[in-house]
Amino acid sequence: MKTNKIIVAVVALAIGATAFQSCKPSSKGKIDGEWTVNLINGSSISEGTSTQSGVTGTSTNSGTSTYNFDGSAFSSDASWTYTDVDNNASTSASVMGAGIWTDTYTYNGVSTSETGAYSSDAAMTYSFVKDGTYSSTDSHTSQIVETETDPTGTDDFFQVVTTVVTTTDEVSSNTTQGEWSFMGKNKSAELKANERIALTYLSATDEITTTETIVTTVVDNVSGASTTETEVEVISDDVSYTYTSTDVDEIWKITESKNKSLKAEFTEDYTSSSSSSNANTFDGLTITTTSTGTSTVTGTGTIELTQE
């Protein structure tokens, strides 16, 4: 599970899918073809480290999250802790869903809280091949709009009120490549052969573009005259992931299967290594940095998929 400014820990799930002919878990049927994810409910815990070009030392991060995908939009509730190379600690507690975004950010004991409007549009598909390979893709666009009226207090001498509207638009996509297989029976757990699916992650990529637009309007309360200033910052992240083991990273336990539909419970436990390039453009100047990191993730959840 991965984190970015708008969506926390959602875009990198490697998800399995199967189709069967009965209403109960079955070892018969097929898994090949393209599948659409209609629902995910999950939770995860992660820990990681990172190093950045031009900076000496290693930063650490850890977090927990619960998340939901309803077939068209994401929502999440996440908390994160980050410690930089100078041992300065910061935390973030963020909730996104039902049209609302809230975030409480604390740095070295000083907290700030923000609230805004939130919207999300997403799609997830998975393609399984008979040779035991699979790929998954997900795409997501989201927006947060935060409006602050008179954030620094009215200037009584000039009788002006300032309104600041910050709009954060994010467009992201993830592609994961891996291998899948049916698992054998587990007598002690009363599981028959082919009632579980094992997924092994091989590689993944993220492409994320975040555009922050800040519009500041100053209105003179006497004359009614107003002036507006717009600032735009664009951040582009390209991240590549590799996985440190060829062991099973995720297991799906089939709870209900019908023709061209599937419900399952999943568990995940994996470690990944990442390399990223970050380009930050503001006022015509672009600064590019690179970083590397590692992340260990464990999680559980449920998923529902269908096939055309």
Distance of alpha carbon 112 from alpha carbon 286, whole angstroms: 28
Q: What is the pLDDT of residue 308?
A: 85
Nearest to 287 by CA among 57, 53, 82: 53
What is the percentage of the chain residues whose pLDDT exceeds 90?
69
Burial of 209 (0-12, 13-18, 19+ CB in 10 A): middle
Distance of alpha carbon 49 from alpha carbon 148, whole angstroms: 35
Q: Bridge partners of 237? A: 208, 278
Q: Hey, what's the torsion of the CAs at 16, 19, 20, 21, to 10 degrees?
A: 160
Contact in structure between 141 and 169 (CB atoms under 8 Å): yes
Q: What is the pLDDT of residue 4?
A: 38
Contact in structure between 181 and 196 (CB atoms under 8 Å): no
Task: Estimate to the nearest angstrom the gap between the alpha carbon of 188 and the chain centroid.
Answer: 36
Q: Residue 23: pLDDT above 50? A: no
Q: Residue 10: pLDDT above 80? A: no
Contact in structure between 233 and 209 (CB atoms under 8 Å): no
Mean pLDDT of 17-29: 35
Residue with tokens 């990172």: 50
Q: Residue 109: pLDDT above 60? A: yes
Nearest to 76 by CA among 93, 62, 96: 96
Query: Average pLDDT, whole number, for the chain?
Result: 86
Per-residue pLDDT band for 12 (boundaries 50, 70, 90) equals very low
Q: Residue 259: pLDDT above 90? A: no
> Higher-confidence residue: 122 or 149?
122
What is the percentage of the chain residues whose pLDDT exceeds 70?
84
Contact in structure between 197 and 176 (CB atoms under 8 Å): no
The domain spans of the chain are 33-306
Mean pLDDT of 190-198: 73
Distance of alpha carbon 278 from alpha carbon 235, whole angstroms: 7
Strands 133-149 and 196-220: unpaired
Amino acid at 291: S
Half-sphere exposure of 82 (CA within 13 A, CB side): 14
Q: Residue 14: pLDDT above 70? A: no
pTM of the model: 0.84
Amino acid at 236: S
Q: What is the pLDDT of residue 214?
A: 97
Q: What is the pLDDT of residue 149?
A: 85
Q: Residue 3: pLDDT above 80? A: no
